[in-house]
Amino acid sequence: MAEILDQMAKELFAGNAKAVAELTQKALDEGMSPQEILNQGLIKGMNEVGVKFKANEIYVPEVLIAARAMKAGMEILKPKLAETGVEPIAKMIIGTVKGDLHDIGKNLVAMMMEGAGFEVIDLGIDVPEEKFIAAAKEKGAQIVGMSALLTTTMVQMKENIRALEESGIRDKVKIMVGGAPITQKFADEIGADGYAPDAASAVDIAKSLLNLN
């Protein structure tokens, strides 16, 4: 039984979406629980992707291909997870800030977070502060993630944090920021709770912010 899951993790790491989908279905057919398939197959494979990506042993294209394979497995698993009432480890909303259209890095972060068991609500690009606030309230998110790639839009993060404070939900969420021009120093200056330089570290930071490590 465990062999299927090991194989699934390997195929996911290799970015073989078709094989991951087939193995996910096979594991379900053989009576494995959706939770077990998620944790020991899909998340295990994605964790390995995160480790290698952080160590510069694989790069963005490989991560994107692995993420697509993860998605293929998740499409089969998601309805079963819903049926069995398996809860995500936490909820995160994420978006690229107002005025900014870059989303490759943000999408990678979202995929890695999903791969780690978070429910991710992706608000897309060019997201105004009202949308971050409304989504955080409506979804009951524990983490608000913001991405910016331009020096002209990174300042919008500060505006968003101010707006979250004014809306009264600042203390109910952890705010995480990232993107090429963002630094730990900038994150501290604007009052964010966490900063991650890459998608794999984003998972570690998010977990530590929520004491899930």
Q: Which of 98, 102, 170, 174 binds ligand B1M (CB under 6 A)?
A: 102
Residue 151 touching ligand B1M (CB under 6 A): yes
Q: Phi first, then psi: what are they for 211, rounded to 5°?
A: 55, 40
Helix (H) or strand (E) holding 38: none
* Residue numbers 7-66 binding ligand B1M by CB under 6 A: 60
Q: Which is nearer to ligand B1M, 51 or 104 (CB)?
A: 104
Residue 179 touching ligand B1M (CB under 6 A): yes
In whole angstroms, the minimum distance from the beta carbon of 102 to ligand B1M comes to: 4
What crossing angle do the helices spanning 199-209 and 43-54 adopt, rounded to 10°? 110
Q: For residue 42, which of 7, 94, 18 has the smallest C-alpha distance? A: 7
What does the alpha-carbon distance between residue 143 and residue 172 come to, in Å, rounded to a whole number? 9
- Asked whether the CA dihedral 16, 17, 21, 24 is positive or negative, the reply is positive
* Residue 97, C-beta contacts closer than 8 angstroms, at least 6 positions apart: 126, 127, 146, 147, 148, 153, 154, 156, 157, 160
Residue 176 touching ligand B1M (CB under 6 A): yes
What residue number has its CB nearest to ligand B1M?
Answer: 105
Residue 1 touching ligand B1M (CB under 6 A): no
Q: Which of 8, 76, 108, 187 binds ligand B1M (CB under 6 A)?
A: 108
Q: Which is nearer to ligand B1M, 9 or 127 (CB)?
A: 127
Q: Which of 46, 66, 136, 146 binds ligand B1M (CB under 6 A)?
A: 146
- Whether the Cβ atoms of residue 192 and residue 176 lie closer than 8 Å to each other: yes
In whole angstroms, the minimum distance from the beta carbon of 27 to ligand B1M comes to: 29
- Asked whether the CA dihedral 170, 175, 180, 183 is positive or negative, the reply is positive
In whole angstroms, the minimum distance from the beta carbon of 3 to ligand B1M comes to: 32
Which residues are at the interface with ligand B1M (CB under 6 A)?
Answer: 60, 94, 99-106, 108-109, 145-147, 149-152, 176-181, 196, 198-199, 202
